[in-house]
Structure 1
Amino acid sequence: MRILIIAPEQIPVPPILGGSVEIAILALAGRLARQHEVTVVSRTHKRYPAYSEIDGVSIRRVPGGRPSKYLTHVLRWLKSQSTRFDLIQIDNRPRFVEPVKRLCPHIPVSLFLQSLTFVSQPYMDSDHAAYCLSKADLIMANSASLKQQLISRFPSISDIISKAWLGVDTDRFSPGPPRVRRGPFTLLFVGRIIPRKGLPILLHAIKRAQVQTDRKIKVIIAGHSVLPGYIRQMKRLKRSLGISAVFLGVVPHSRIHRIYRLADALVCPSQKHEAFGLVNVEAMSSGLPVIASRNGGIGEIVSHMRNGLLVDDYHRPDSFAVAIAELMKDRALYNRLRLQARMDALSTFSWEASADHLSRIYTQYVENAR
């Protein structure tokens, strides 16, 4: 089967620093390329040529910029191709579906959504979103939670939407050497530093957990913020609380696996709906138990008292403090969770498993459509 994947216009594939959508595109494409002929169209970047091949995936790059400009170049390139694709996947850009379908009316078009962002205000109103979704032949949601949210908002898509979990490179994200217990218990936060990700909740939780244990607690924070002054605000909060916190800034995804090996556990204190939460499976694959909000698709990944701890009252720092202290005090629990986390990543959340699942859905659809 010949599959074309159309990436969004903002970040190139492969991403230079980070971008969960672009990370997922290349990882899934590389695994799909073991069974199919896969081409990715992405935006240009000064570091990349107009064409390259990575892991058996052909990557074509066209000028980016505004979504409309990028889409124009994508359609122009697509129109010039002599290859007839069997299926086109559009990632996270519902606006692209109708123009692509108009150009290629006889090719199935799948819209792969990784959040509610691009079917919501201010990106588009519900009527426009419903129209865009109606033009897709298939819709993939990266979690059962996102699938249910989409069906609730747009009931007419219930017959064409499927769940397709994301995954992790289990070779690169693997446990490091055993950590000595003499140093501080090191927590890790990975992600955008914006209010909805809950970093203030975590910083307050560390202050409250520290009084429950003799062992020092340290947090490593890897990520950037698009909000002017927000990181300075978080650093002021850290100083006022008197806790140990290291802000690494942006860590390229090509090196982020090394940061997981510096930690004892990952904390994901998201305060709003998370469709999937890629950092959680990366942590699990790295042999780290996860302490996370019971929020959206996170509960499909993190299983309470199996491979991590889920926090129900996740708006309260005290709830995270209790979970942190419990993990620190109960070594048997800690070891059981981290071992199971790695096993679950290998069995359920590898990119191979994700690609196999997506391949089955696409193959069945294309065969039935012929």
Structure 2
Amino acid sequence: MKILLIMDPGIPVPPMLYGGHERLVYLFAEEYHRLGHEVTLLAGPDSYCNGTTITFGTNDLERSNATKNKEIVSVWKYLHHNKKSFDLVHNFGRLIYLLPILNGNLKKLMTYGRPVSRKGIKLFTTLPNRNLLFTACSNYCVSTGNVAGSWNTVYNAIDFSRYEVNDVLNFNMPLMFLGRLDKIKGVHTAIEVAKATGNNLILAGNVSHTSDNLAYFKTLIEPQIDGEQIRYVGPLNDLQKNNYLRQSKALLFPIEWDEPFGLVMIEAMACGTPVIAFKRGSVPEVVQEGVNGFVVQDKAGMVKKTSELAKIDRLRCRQNAESRFDVKVIASEYLSLVNG
């Protein structure tokens, strides 16, 4: 099968550090290629994969709307001239990219990893369309956009072969927080839990440059980083992420918003590290109670569960997550959808 994958510019595919969706697109491009399909990737500058890569647009997350509109036109032109060259278009970018092929015989997968614009779905599904399937990364995420069209839940994935499991729990292991150091990610709660339980805490991830989140980091988080109990190690590449996660007793995920998935949860599980997470968004779908972590309502629940981590079999934690979220499993689910 000839497959075209599309991703918005802004961050290259694959990303060097931050860029969960870009990493997903790369994984699927590589897995489709490994399965023998002819893969073309349409993405921002500096992108690459083991198939053919066509780049467009600008790698700048703060680029103007005018620039984004030019990118839409670039995709439209490419699809207009090459639509007969593919059997499947798997779009992880903007829905509007699909407009030139919306009513064509070409199979189309539109995949969402963020809350969905219902207005956009309603508009597009009123237009003549064929062979268009919508997917989102969790039942929760599907619920944000399932107002029209054909929808399926297909979870996010990682390549488990790139993560090393540590099946031994040591009392002196630190807790870990990994993600953007924003208020909605609950960094302050992770620190409070570490202090309440006497655990060390590793903070990892990028500091947002938006004024509100930068002020949050500077006033509430940075003053508590002492280099001993609370350590900040900055953004991590895949190798560093693996090393820190496998040496942690648990990943804390005290989110203050309904996160559609949270790749970091399965990255932790791949290392055998259980997740203690607030019951928001997709968390109850990803974390299986007592198998690969605990789902809690609040900080008090998180504090309590840090003393129950010995109940988790770290090897089983890894095996359970791999059977559900490995890229081979998820890529097969996508292909099954279009192959009937």
With normalisation by structure 2, the TM-score equals 0.87
**Kept after mapping to 2: 8 A contact 1:94/1:133:** no
Which position in structure 1 is the counterpart of 2:217? 231
Which position in structure 2 is the counterpart of 1:276? 261
Residues 179-225 of structure 1 show CA distances to partners (whole Å, capped at 9, x for unaligned) of 654xx331111111111111111111222223xxxxxx111111112
1:294 aligned onto 2:274:
no
Shift of 1:293: 1.3
Counterparts in 2 of 1:164 and 1:128: CA distance versus 1, 3 Å: closer
Shift of 1:286: 0.7
**Kept after mapping to 1: 8 A contact 2:188/2:221:** no
C-alpha root-mean-square deviation of aligned residues, in Å? 2.4
Distance in 2 (alpha carbons) for counterparts of 1:89 and 1:82: 13
**Kept after mapping to 1: 8 A contact 2:175/2:194:** no
**Kept after mapping to 2: 8 A contact 1:238/1:244:** no
Residues 32-41 or 275-284, more deviating: 32-41
1:276 is matched by which residue type in structure 2?
A: F
Which position in structure 1 is the counterpart of 2:24? 24
Q: Secondary structure at the match of 1:249?
A: coil
Q: Secondary structure at the match of 1:39?
A: strand
2:151 is matched by which residue type in structure 1?
A: I
Shift of 1:341: 1.1
**Kept after mapping to 1: 8 A contact 2:41/2:49:** no
Which position in structure 1 is the counterpart of 2:326? 350
Shift of 1:130: 2.3
Distance in 2 (alpha carbons) for counterparts of 1:254 and 1:67: 33
Aligned-residue sequence identity (percent) comes to 23
Number of residue pairs the alignment of both structures matches: 325
Q: Secondary structure at the match of 1:95?
A: helix
**Kept after mapping to 2: 8 A contact 1:114/1:142:** yes
Residues 323-364 of structure 1 show CA distances to partners (whole Å, capped at 9, x for unaligned) of 11332xxx3x14x2x222111122221100001111111122
1:169 is matched by which residue type in structure 2?
A: D
Q: Secondary structure at the match of 2:162?
A: coil
**Kept after mapping to 2: 8 A contact 1:43/1:70:** no
**Kept after mapping to 1: 8 A contact 2:121/2:145:** no
Shift of 1:38: 1.6
Shift of 1:129: 4.7
**Structure 2: which 5+ runs fail to align?**
none
**Kept after mapping to 1: 8 A contact 2:174/2:201:** yes
Which position in structure 1 is the counterpart of 2:6? 6
1:131 is matched by which residue type in structure 2?
A: L
The counterpart of 2:251, out of the listed 241, 246, 266, is: 266
Which position in structure 2 is the counterpart of 1:324? 306
Which position in structure 2 is the counterpart of 1:130? 122
Which position in structure 2 is the counterpart of 1:214? none
Shift of 1:114: 0.6
Q: Secondary structure at the match of 1:229?
A: helix
Counterparts in 2 of 1:304 and 1:83: CA distance versus 1, 3 Å: same
Distance in 2 (alpha carbons) for counterparts of 1:170 and 1:362: 25
2:179 is matched by which residue type in structure 1?
A: G
Counterparts in 2 of 1:67 and 1:147: CA distance versus 1, 3 Å: same
Distance in 2 (alpha carbons) for counterparts of 1:254 and 1:80: 40
1:60 aligned onto 2:54:
yes
Counterparts in 2 of 1:245 and 1:95: CA distance versus 1, 3 Å: farther
Q: Secondary structure at the match of 1:185?
A: coil
Residues 101-129 of structure 1 show CA distances to partners (whole Å, capped at 9, x for unaligned) of 36x7332322100110x52xxxxxx5345
**Kept after mapping to 2: 8 A contact 1:220/1:247:** yes
Residues 50-95 of structure 1 show CA distances to partners (whole Å, capped at 9, x for unaligned) of xx542xx322212325321222222333344385211212114223
**Kept after mapping to 1: 8 A contact 2:166/2:315:** no
Distance in 2 (alpha carbons) for counterparts of 1:200 and 1:133: 42
1:106 aligned onto 2:82:
no
Distance in 1 (alpha carbons) for counterparts of 2:122 and 2:93: 14
Which position in structure 1 is the counterpart of 2:161? 171
Which position in structure 2 is the counterpart of 1:141? 136
Residues 28-37 or 252-261, more deviating: 252-261
**Kept after mapping to 1: 8 A contact 2:76/2:97:** no
Q: Secondary structure at the match of 2:177?
A: strand
**Kept after mapping to 1: 8 A contact 2:135/2:151:** yes
> Where do 1:301-312 residues align within 5 Å?
301-311=286-296
Counterparts in 2 of 1:79 and 1:8: CA distance versus 1, 3 Å: same
1:218 is matched by which residue type in structure 2?
A: N
**Kept after mapping to 2: 8 A contact 1:207/1:243:** no
1:71 is matched by which residue type in structure 2?
A: I
Residues 148-173 of structure 1 show CA distances to partners (whole Å, capped at 9, x for unaligned) of 2322xx2x23xx11111111211111
Which position in structure 1 is the counterpart of 2:145? 150
